[in-house]
Amino acid sequence: MKIVIKENYEEMSKYAAEVIASCIRAKPDCVLGLATGSTPIGTYKELIKMHNNGLDFSRVKTFNLDEYLGIGMNLDKPYNEDQSYARFMYEELFKHINIKKENIHIPDGLTKEPEKFCRWYEEEIKKAGGIDLQLLGIGGDGHWAFNEPGSSLQSRTRVIPLAKQTLDDNYESFFKKSGISRDEMPRFAITMGIGTILEAKNILMIANGERKASVVAKAIEGPITSQITASAIQLHSGNVTVVLDEAAASKL
Ligand code: GLP
């Protein structure tokens, strides 16, 4: 595992974007696993700058980690103002780069048949040849994607109830500003499993801020446990890069 500590959020984001850009340059039709949350926003901004300087996404395929159940958006009609991860990805990255719509995969939060959808999603990842590089943040309770504490480290894409801390964190960061009440926020999500994530050939985890320091230390230095699902990072046998700012690295 390679651990890179950068001075601040901006430098962390630049480094992470360079790892992703190198993957695209080495394999222009690579398959990227993408993440949401406030952490990757800076990385996406850097990738947009690189795209404006020639980085080509026209053959890149993407698979997002997760989506809230009950919300979502049609990329053909991106007008709604919901807090879906589909809209987040469209606003923060996809609308700014030359990725093809048919190459974008995001769990469908509006599916009427979630279990069938989850099986289909796993198949699509396989058909694409697997994920070359998976970008990940880490939740306040140590989760990867929405694999809340207690999730099996072999879990696959599935529906999951969100833990209280995740609901609280994501309400504060995202849902509150859209004016909906805490009770109206989705309580379930579709998430890639830890087993699914570990099949990615390369892993890139990013974290910033003091708020993440203790959970980052637990994930990369503590015991491997389903109580901190990001600790599965220690099980990955390929290239694993963790990029932190100094605050997030302060408890290592
Ligand atoms: C959500 C996402 C995770 C993300 C986490 C951290 O729960 N499902 O993939 O890592 O938030 O979010 P933030 O980057 O806002 O701290």
**Ligand 1 pocket check for 165: Cβ under 6 Å:** no
Q: In testing the pocket of ligand 1, which one of 9, 13, 34, 39 has its CB within 8 Å of the most ligand atoms?
A: 39
Tokens of 174: 């995202």
The pLDDT of residue 250 is above 80:
yes
- List the catalytic residue out of 141, 168, 236, 246: 141
Contact 131, 32 (CB under 8 A): yes
Contact 85, 64 (CB under 8 A): yes
The atom number, within ligand 1, closest to the CA of 166 reads 7
ipTM: 0.97
- List the catalytic residue out of 108, 143, 199, 245: 143
CATH number of the domain at 2-194+209-245, out of 3.30.70.3340, 3.40.50.1360, 3.40.50.1820, 3.50.50.60? 3.40.50.1360
Q: Specify the pLDDT at position 92.
A: 96
**Ligand 1 pocket check for 134: Cβ under 6 Å:** no
Q: Specify the pLDDT at position 177.
A: 84
Beta pairing class for 202-207 and 2-6? unpaired
Query: What does the pLDDT look like over 23-65, one tens digit per residue?
Result: 999 999 999 999 999 999 999 999 999 999 999 999 999 999 9
Whose tokens are 């989760």? That residue is 143
